[in-house]
Structure 1
């Protein structure tokens, strides 16, 4: 079959043939994500998925969308493009599991100044890895070449995921009460938020990102590019094992913005700051940027990528389920009566 080609479009900066090559190169990565329910192959106008709703009385679809933000600039400076796709998936699926939903599928969107098939395929390899970690399928996406709008080597990456939960199993935050325990699910580092401040503090455009740091135990570039943890499997296991009353994904806005999203009125999340296991990159960032402690907790996850609030009597069962999934969760506080939404003491 003769392929589409437009010399006029190519002269304007859009290489259709490069797009075809990108699709060819990414196929092997997409194949890794295939799970029961996938109906279509990549290349169609829409991704098709037939969910197995057996056993659900009232299925509810849950969706989430996000991007990687300016963390992408770190990847571009390092010429390492195989991990930001994990971030993209994580930012979406970690959101939708906060109500108890199982992610089903994911679609990505790549905007790039000049379509380099190998860069695009490498980006998709990261997306595919994220989907594998989340147990969902990559069923489609889009690559858009933006000559004249973006520099040739620039790109941006975003996506969205759809999951499903039985309506009767959507987390009921109103069941929360004083004495409930707040569990911390450790982060891998900064994850994908606050990178405009990160780039300013570390002056990444001029810094030696490849220099080894004894404090970090790795290079600064490696620490900044560490991909976001995906918490789908540990959280789903925890939901089955314990009475979970609230889950929060600690993203932009840190503790003070995200934990209150699951708190009923009249209750406060009391966090023991000394209990938090904070990775060295946050200490380095705070010291070098002279950032107040409150601002750190209001911008970053500080080592806690997600919080899970459970009934006190179920705390041990919740921790056991999380540990069994390889998540080194631990307690950092409790729910108390109060009007202040979050207290870090």
Structure 2
């Protein structure tokens, strides 16, 4: 693979590896495998782009007890679609048939992505200041986290019928939108809202001494989250720690960049909301 290095003064490689967790079980119940590959790509490329890096290439690893060629074709089809959405090359992978390790019908999926960014353009939150604003980008649903809890509140019959389509909805890929936005606005920090939700992911990209205040009610929370909370009698704090609650990516911008950023994201077809701000205080997220 030959990356475009001429336009960079000091290129830095950024990498990510991840899977899709127990969302695979939902795919198995529905016997539908053409979107799980999109989830796999999303979980990796969006972990790379939060540093301002452009994903270069992607590899996949599929392990199974017994190879199902039809299923494999569908999974790969989703991976290809995801890579196209992220403008990322799919350069290879490994399919391992491990009958002594996996029972027939059992399998797992992992991905690996490498991206590149110029050193002076790395986005790591160091320039965040009191008064900066937090913009939330709408998610497409559960994405690929919280499925162990979700599966406990829905029966297999409900998953196969009423709720399956919603639970298997592909993870939103933000990479193309973010890279386009970076051409016109300055994003000081970004957090991909995956496992750990708001409380664990956002503080990682914010300097010590700053508190992130998120205000509820500004964005619409998709019904699936409310249904899971109601059925499982899950505390609100735990919901925001486990799920994305309708916000799959957050970005921090200066006050003067806020309105241009919101308008730009909308122009790019991405729903975006001003959901909070940075204040002086303990290094944590407060949702009020």
Give CA-to-partner distance per residue, 1:36-68, whole Å, 9 cap, x none: xxxxxxxxxxxxx11011210000010000001
For 2:123, the equivalent position in structure 1 comes to 171
SS in 2 for 1:184: strand
SS in 1 for 2:202: helix
User: Which fold has the larger relative contact order, with Cα–Cα distance below 8 Å and residues 6 or more apart in sequence?
Assistant: 2
| 2:49 is the alignment partner of 1:106 | no
Answer whether contact 1:237 1:321 (CA < 8 A) is retained: no
SS in 2 for 1:175: coil
CA distance in 2, matches of 1:191, 1:258: 15
CA distance in 2, matches of 1:78, 1:269: 39
1:308 to 251, 259, 273: 251
For 2:9, the equivalent position in structure 1 comes to 57
* Deviation, structure 1 residue 243: 2.0
CA distance in 2, matches of 1:340, 1:334: 13
CA distance in 1, matches of 2:242, 2:185: 30
Answer whether contact 2:146 2:242 (CA < 8 A) is retained: yes
For 2:205, the equivalent position in structure 1 comes to 262
SS in 2 for 1:50: coil
RMSD: 1.1
Which runs of 4 or more aligned residues in structure 1 lie more than 3 Å from their structure 2 counterparts after TM superposition?
none
Query: Which of the pair has more CA radius of gyration?
Result: 1
* Deviation, structure 1 residue 110: 0.6
TM-score, normalised to structure 2's length? 0.97
1:186 to 128, 138, 142: 138
| 2:103 is the alignment partner of 1:151 | yes
TM-score, normalised to structure 1's length? 0.82
SS in 1 for 2:22: helix
* Deviation, structure 1 residue 149: 2.4
CA distance in 1, matches of 2:8, 2:215: 39
* Deviation, structure 1 residue 172: 4.5
For 1:37, the equivalent position in structure 2 comes to none
For 1:283, the equivalent position in structure 2 comes to 226
For 1:232, the equivalent position in structure 2 comes to 175
Structure 1, unmatched stretches of 5+, are 1-48, 212-218
Give CA-to-partner distance per residue, 1:202-258, whole Å, 9 cap, x none: 133xx33243xxxxxxx3000110111000011112222212111000001100000
* Deviation, structure 1 residue 318: 1.4
Structure 2, unmatched stretches of 5+, are none
For 1:208, the equivalent position in structure 2 comes to 158
1:72 to 21, 24, 27: 24
Number of residue equivalences: 288
| 2:66 is the alignment partner of 1:123 | no
* Deviation, structure 1 residue 174: 2.1
Of residues 314-323 and 282-291 in structure 1, the stretch that sits farther from structure 2 once superposed is 314-323
